[in-house]
Amino acid sequence: MSQNQPKKIQSLRTPIVSVLGHVDHGKTTLLDSIRGSSVTSTEAGSITQHIGVTTVSINLISQMAGSLVNSENFEIPGLLFIDTPGHQLFTTLRSRGGSLADIAILVVDIKDGFQPQTKEALTILRESKTPFIVCANKIDTIPGWNSQNNSSIVTSYNSQPERIRKSLDQKFYQLLGELSTFGFSADYYWKVSDFSKTVGIIPTSAHTKEGIPDLLAVLMGLTQKYMRDSISVDLDGPGKGIVLEVKEEKGLGKTFDAILYDGSISEESTIVVGGEDGPISTNIRALFSLLPISDSNPNSTFTRTSKATAASGIKVAASGLSNVIVGSPLREVKDAPLESIVFEIESELEKIKIETQDSGVIICADTLGSLEALSKALSEIGAPILSATVGDIAPRNVSLASTSSEKQHRIILGFNVNSIEEAERHAREKGVTILLNDVIYRLLEDYESLTEDLQTYRRTSIFEKLTRPAKFIIMENHIFRHSNPAVVGVEILMGTLQKNSPVSIQTKDDFQRIGFIKEIKHQGESVDKAHSGDQVSISIEGPTIGRQIDEKSEIWVDVHEKHAKALEGNFSPDLREDEREVLSLFLKQKRINDPFWGK
């Protein structure tokens, strides 16, 4: 840095807190209890809505936490919460090579314990190395719990009868065991001496607000004490953020909501965001900032502003935003050349590029993060991806899926998106299956169930087309016609005799084909197959009784080499024991001259 350049002033920005957890474990309810009320709409024409971001001021936190938080002891201006519907957005909220969130809250239902999304969240937290605390939520559902509304959990816990405390402790120890399997040491937060080594668990109730004061106090204390470096930013530096949502606003046209995590951004600034066809450079026409929750502003309300600073929720109106991708990076062009910013955005987008193959399923999701998470989940179960796009399922997706000759690839998986009506009709016509869900692990379960059914159907279809092994004998006094075709009564000694199977007689070191089974009748009724022990009449096209075969002749099904290989290999478990035995005898004879026959 030149001696003539002014030194950049570093300030502590608002820490960013991500809320994760299994569906229905109380993430949003917990945030609503911090907000003070559920998100509500306001007068028509206003720009007010919950975008998954809530800023809570230090004054409100001090008011809610009481003696646990003294605003005079803190430099940070409050807390910014990100409510992640799943965990997919969280995976794409990145800055400085790690997670965008400075700290996370893992919400766990105290009665349900760890569930699939809880484990998914822990894996994400561990891989991104994001510090976190655990909210053991819904303590008010413990039988006999005496709720102490709005109180510190320490006060509430100590006021409970011993048997109720033991009931909570029992659930608590189960959580400790689950966390230990992921390599985390944990304890009640008031027993933790070093939060850098031990995860703090805070029992809470989103309904009675018990433990909320403790939660806010711990978040404030941890971020200011342990995270000064990561939340120290130059508030006058170029703005950096992540796009959260793109929408049409009345009177503004196309807009996007974003979270600004570094620097500041101004109205009329030039910005670069990620688009479907590459980086988009545009000028801000109107800038709105999300006001912090307060007594006078109980809802997440945007207000027009000339400048917004980190960390905050913002809304941007500009031209050329129709193809902006949710989850893409946002950069303000300030000191650096436009070309370098464009290159930076391209590099960021390249990091989350989905790897596709020449054949596979098609995936659609609401954000880049969702798309990346779904792609990763599919790769873990070995499912190939042909195409990956952000947005609702459209006819073009169906057209692409219909080009696959493999039924297990004629599938479109949609996470947190809709399917356009025309696409649904097109899918029915083209034999393409569309699977939709807003929970990734459930979408994967649906996919695995479908592919398992398809594989079972495919396996059954292939098995049914294979010529099965059998050996049978012409019974005495059961020659009804000598030739064209020969009609005889037989007993199946081993295996399964099928209609249209080629048949042969055994020679010294091989088999000699004599014809094929034209028809099988059992008690006068035509059947497609007969099994070991059955006595049936058959017509054999090819031989003449008295020349190639006669009474008491043992006749074998002459299994094709490719069929024999499949039956001995992949389909051996599908054969009955007598079928495996006759196949083994048949192969032994065939391999006298050629040891590698059928291998």
Number of H helices, E strands in the chain: 15, 32
Per-residue tens of pLDDT for the chain, all 599 residues: 444 444 456 788 899 998 888 777 777 788 888 876 433 333 223 232 334 678 888 888 888 888 898 888 888 988 998 876 544 444 444 443 346 788 989 999 998 888 877 887 888 788 778 899 999 999 999 999 999 999 999 999 999 999 999 999 999 999 999 999 999 999 999 999 999 899 999 999 988 999 999 999 999 999 998 888 888 888 889 999 988 878 888 888 889 888 899 999 999 899 999 887 889 999 999 999 887 765 555 555 778 999 999 888 899 999 999 888 877 889 999 888 899 998 888 887 776 667 788 889 999 987 776 787 788 888 878 888 999 888 899 999 999 999 988 888 899 999 888 999 999 999 999 999 999 988 777 888 888 888 887 677 667 778 888 999 999 999 989 999 999 999 999 999 999 999 999 999 998 888 999 999 999 999 889 999 999 999 999 999 999 998 889 888 899 999 999 999 999 988 999 999 999 999 999 999 999 888 899 88
Q: pLDDT digits over 79-121, tens only?
A: 998 876 544 444 444 443 346 788 989 999 998 888 877 887 8
Picking from 371, 95, 71, the residue whose alpha carbon sits closest to that of residue 231 is 95
Tokens for 210, please give them.
């018990």
CA distances in angstroms from 175 to 108, 112, 135, 140, 180, listed in the order given:
9, 10, 11, 17, 9
Domains defined for the chain, CATH in brackets = 10-232 (3.40.50.300), 240-351 (2.40.30.10), 361-461 (3.40.50.10050), 470-590 (2.40.30.10)
Buried b (16+ CB within 10 A) or exposed e, 557-589: bbbeeebbbbbbeebeeebeebbbbbbeebbeb
Contact between 430 and 419 (Cβ < 8 Å): no
Contact between 241 and 261 (Cβ < 8 Å): yes
Tokens for 193, please give them.
């001496």
